[in-house]
DNA sequence: GTGGTCTAGACCACG
DNA sequence: GTGGTCTAGACCACC
């Protein structure tokens, strides 16, 4: 975890889980790495992990079985919504940022062509 | 100055200056709105404005003349670098984020076509 | 913290940290006294301490871990550079000042002999 | 004049006069460059020049004849004192700074030998 | 516990 | 007029 970055560690942690879901490594009903193990793995305070999990729980993405652990929600619909909304949010905040800073669609198109992401 | 409450006001202020530079409203050597005036204009404490300006000063984008005020750096090169690096950073962190979250170039292309940013 | 009223307190504070580094009391990775504790110790406002620390942070000498505290940079190279550059800067600005004011190497030599710093 | 430096411009100006005295370019009774001319020459506000001259006047180094201009003091003794005290002050603040920052007499000696200021 | 942001307001040095 | 420093104190997010 990058301690000095602007993004809170607990957000970095929850983003990792979300990333695993979106990439298909974690699916509906799967167990999530335990707070204790995650704490060791990422070298952060257990409370920070818990904080991340609580956040995901509030968003309905994971739930907890007392004494057992956290699990990915069983509602596939929520995971699908996540996939769609996350994408929309990333795209829109990116475009917003781009325009505010005075760049144009042409700048963007050129950059994407240059990187081989779109062609012609 | 509460467009985004999660971003510190002083960062929003310095982003405004940067945006003005990138959009060509502020050029090398131009005076920057005084701390007191900006304080009135944006309805925030003078210290908050100063905080923003100090930040820009540390990044070499503006400098201060004693008893006179803040000015955009005279080094055009720095402004050019800003324009180039800012763009690169925005694009790359966006793509990075996109891929980490499991989206593909195709997802991106479709979204851009859908928004009329690129065609075909 | 009024050894020299003409020097801002926050600069005196940051000089204390630098002095501690140069004297070997603080080494790479060491924690720096917390803002609150330093505030009590030196009887100044926490913001003044923070100001000093931000300054050191901008110079790459210390960094902050969110929610934990400030630490001396882990890059030994930066500390070595500090030691070398600081010395060079002190010496050169001194000599510059001396010559500008019309004093000679002989004046300097005599003064050092007189103070027993060099002999013969 | 270096606008952004830590040293106030008026101090930079008065140091120039002092330097001229110590280097023998200005002697007891000599006229000092007029406020107006100095203002043009150094591209600074006339008030700033006046400020510098007032400072020198308070220290008894120059005096003013109303409607005529500023002149170096006629008391040679004051110029001699200046020469001696300035030197002492430069040397002592330098050494103080050096020791505070953890450098030794040996460091100093080496640096001076290296620069060919003292030998052996 | 830690640092980070912000306000209100004072006082200062500088040009 | 300008910026620079500092205080007192509040409130927040984070670990």
Q: What tens digit of pLDDT does each residue of A52-67 get?
A: 999 999 999 999 998 8
> pLDDT grade, residue C10 (50/70/90)?
very high
The minimum CA-CA distance between D69 and chain C, rounded to whole Å, is 24
Report which secondary-structure segment, H or E, holds C57. Answer: helix C46-58
Positions in chain F where some atom is under 7 Å from a protein CB: 1-10, 13-15
C40 touches strand F (CB under 7 A): no
Give the CB-side neighbour count of residue A111, counting CA atoms within 13 A: 18
- For residue A67, report the phi and psi dihedrals to the nearest 5 degrees: 80, -5
Q: How many angstroms separate the CA atoms of B91 and A117, rounded?
A: 12
Q: Do chains A and D touch (3 or more CB pairs under 8 A)?
A: no
> pLDDT grade, residue D120 (50/70/90)?
low
| pLDDT at residue number B6 | 86
How do beta strands D69-72 and D62-65 pair? antiparallel
The minimum CA-CA distance between A41 and chain B, rounded to whole Å, is 19
| pLDDT at residue number D6 | 83
Is pLDDT of A35 > 70?
yes
Q: How many angstroms separate the CA atoms of D94 and D96, rounded?
A: 5
Is pLDDT of C94 > 90?
yes
How high is the mean pLDDT of chain A? 92
Positions in chain E where some atom is under 7 Å from a protein CB: 1-10, 13-15
| pLDDT at residue number A85 | 92
- For residue D31, report the phi and psi dihedrals to the nearest 5 degrees: -75, 150
Assess contact for C118 and D118: CB atoms under 8 A: yes
| pLDDT at residue number C2 | 60
Q: Report which residue is nearest nucleotide F3 when distances run from CA to C1'.
A: B67
Q: How many angstroms separate the CA atoms of D37 and C8, rounded?
A: 34
Across all strands, nucleotide nearest C68 (CA–C1'): E2
Minimum-distance CB partner of A22 among B19, B23, B101: B101
Whether D101 and C86 lie within 8 Å, measured CB to CB: yes
Is pLDDT of C120 > 80?
no
How do beta strands C62-65 and B69-72 pair? unpaired
Question: CA triplet B49, A93, A104: central angle to 5 degrees?
Answer: 90
Whether B22 and A101 lie within 8 Å, measured CB to CB: yes
What is the arithmetic mean of pLDDT over A22-32? 94
What is the arithmetic mean of pLDDT over A36-53? 93
DSSP A67: T
Is pLDDT of A120 > 70?
no
Cβ atoms within 10 Å, residue C40: 12
Is pLDDT of A4 > 80?
no
> pLDDT grade, residue C1 (50/70/90)?
low
Low-confidence residues in chain B, pLDDT < 50: none
Give the list of residues 6+ apart from residue B106 with CB closer than 8 angstroms, or none.
none
| pLDDT at residue number B108 | 94
Percent of chain A clearing pLDDT 70 (strictly above): 97
Please give the model's pTM, rounded to 2 decimal places.
0.90
User: Residue with structure tokens 């002095």?
Assistant: C19
Cβ atoms within 10 Å, residue A7: 11
Q: How many angstroms separate the CA atoms of D34 and C34, rounded?
A: 53
User: Residue with structure tokens 């409607």?
Assistant: D67
List CB-based contacts (under 7 A) with strand E.
B 8-11, 44-48, 51, 66-68; C 32, 34-37, 46-47, 50, 53-54, 64, 67-70; D 3, 8-11, 44-45, 47-48, 51
- For residue C69, report the phi and psi dihedrals to the nearest 5 degrees: 150, -175
Indicate the burial class of D1 (C-beta count within 10 angstroms; 0-12, 13-18, 19 or more).
middle
The minimum CA-CA distance between A67 and chain B, rounded to whole Å, is 30
Assess contact for B69 and B32: CB atoms under 8 A: yes
Cβ atoms within 10 Å, residue A11: 14
Residue B87's nearest CA partner among A112, A87, A88, A4 is A112
Q: Considering only CB atoms, which chain D residues are within 8 Å of B64?
A: 4
| pLDDT at residue number C59 | 95
| pLDDT at residue number A1 | 73
Percent of chain C clearing pLDDT 90 (strictly above): 92
Q: How much is the CA Rg of chain D, to the nearest whole Å?
A: 18
Question: CA triplet C110, C118, D86: central angle to 5 degrees?
Answer: 40
What is the arithmetic mean of pLDDT over C83-99? 94
Residue A74's nearest CA partner among A65, A66, A86 is A65
3-state secondary structure labels for all residues of chain B: CCCCCCCCHHHHHHHHHHHHHHCCCCCCCCECCCHHHHHHHHCCCHHHHHHHHHHHHHCCCEEEECCCEEEECCCHHHHHHHHHHHHHHHHHHHHHHHHHCCCCHHHHHHHHHHCCCCCC
Q: What are the tokens at A84?
A: 């769609």
């Amino acid at each position: 975890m990058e301690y000095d970055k602007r993004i809170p560690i607990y957000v970095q942690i929850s983003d990792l889980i979300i990333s695993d879901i979106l990439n298909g490594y974690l699916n509906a009903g799967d167990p999530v790495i335990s707070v204790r193990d995650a704490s060791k793995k990422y070298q952060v305070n257990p409370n920070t992990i818990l904080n991340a999990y609580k956040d995901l729980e509030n968003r309905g993405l994971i739930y907890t079985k007392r004494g057992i652990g956290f699990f990915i929600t069983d509602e596939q619909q929520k995971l699908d919504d996540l996939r769609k909304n996350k994408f929309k949010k990333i795209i829109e905040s990116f475009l917003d940022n781009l325009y505010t800073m005075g760049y144009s669609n042409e700048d963007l198109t050129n950059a994407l062509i240059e990187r081989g992401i779109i062609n012609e």
